[in-house]
Amino acid sequence: MFHGKHQPGITTALQARGHLVAFDLAAGAGRKEAAALLRRWSATAQRLMAGEAAANGDTDVARDAGPSSLTVTFGFGHSFFARTGLEKQRPIALDPLPDFSSDHLDKARSNGDLWVQIGANDALVAFHALRAIQKDAGQAARVRWQMNGFNRSPGATSHPMTARNLMGQIDGTRNPKPSESDFDQRIFVPDAGDPSWMAGGSYAVVRRIRMLLDDWEKLSVKDQEDVIGRRKSDGAPLSGGTETTEMDLEKTDADGKLVVPINAHARITRPDENGGAAMLRRPFSFHDGFDADGVPDAGLLFVCWQADPLRGFVPVQRKLDRGDALSTFIRHEASGLFAVPGGAAKGEYVGQKLLEG
């Protein structure tokens, strides 16, 4: 459902296919053109999410298919506000992310005035939405970068399971859950938030993280598990139990060594080890072919959601930067931070409170 307090695609279950795309406003385009664009995009997203054709020049790519859990989500980058004369409405939480030592960022594939996340459980439905959004941009905006991702298809396992990433690790065990009492305050901007147009919204950090799979796959399973801090087979902590068992950070083996190594990824990223920092991770895997030496260009399109990135993503990434065992096997190649406003009420478009307020 397109309309609601929050935009779709944030708490939606992981989808099998995804597209992330950033746009820059065209030269001469400003607030008026941006408002018209968001109105077009919102109308198209509403139709497609209902399983209907796009209003103008539908390509018929997804003919015969239902909506297939399609979601379309819109956000604004830091640069959008200067382009539209809305600098006074730019949230403090949208200040650029700090530099991290693990960054090897391609500026051409980072940031952007506008950001769109598309997810669906059918590849044609997802592409159809991507094509419709790109066509709707018209002369108002041009594509800055675009990335394609995937997850396990629904029904691929005998019972619902936490997803695995391309390293073969169960990924997302400690995600906050909507059933938790403090979920909304961790993930969404409160109704009385500042600025007011962000009420019910969230902030998305987007990172293209290359996995150095050739190096990773040379490790034994035991060494891989020590890097992560969890068993590869079932995601349980090395201290014992099942996937959801609380990790015992003090447990030692017969030689007095910590069972969960001091630099294990799962130890470093625990919210209780980072001042309670929490974010809802909702990634897609990617594979963009092989280089001349047969090295895969593959990894994670990391997307995480939080009420404030300065209390969510930033403190965790700073700590990872100081000594995460996983950092040897990954490379952050692109980055973006986007303010994602609350959902549109019926008769409204996403971002209307900002653009017409």
Spatial separation of the C-alpha atoms in residues 60 and 313, rounded to whole Å: 39
**Cβ pair 133, 41 in contact under 8 A:** yes
Spatial separation of the C-alpha atoms in residues 309 and 249, rounded to whole Å: 26
CA distances from 257 to 128, 208, 209, 260 (A): 53, 35, 31, 9
**Cβ pair 96, 37 in contact under 8 A:** no
Annotated catalytic residues are 171
Q: What tokens were used for 346?
A: 């019926």
**Cβ pair 48, 122 in contact under 8 A:** no
Closest CA to 14 of 71, 73, 74: 71
- Reduced DSSP (H G I as helix, E B as strand, rest coil) percent helix, strand, coil of the chain, to 5: 25, 25, 50
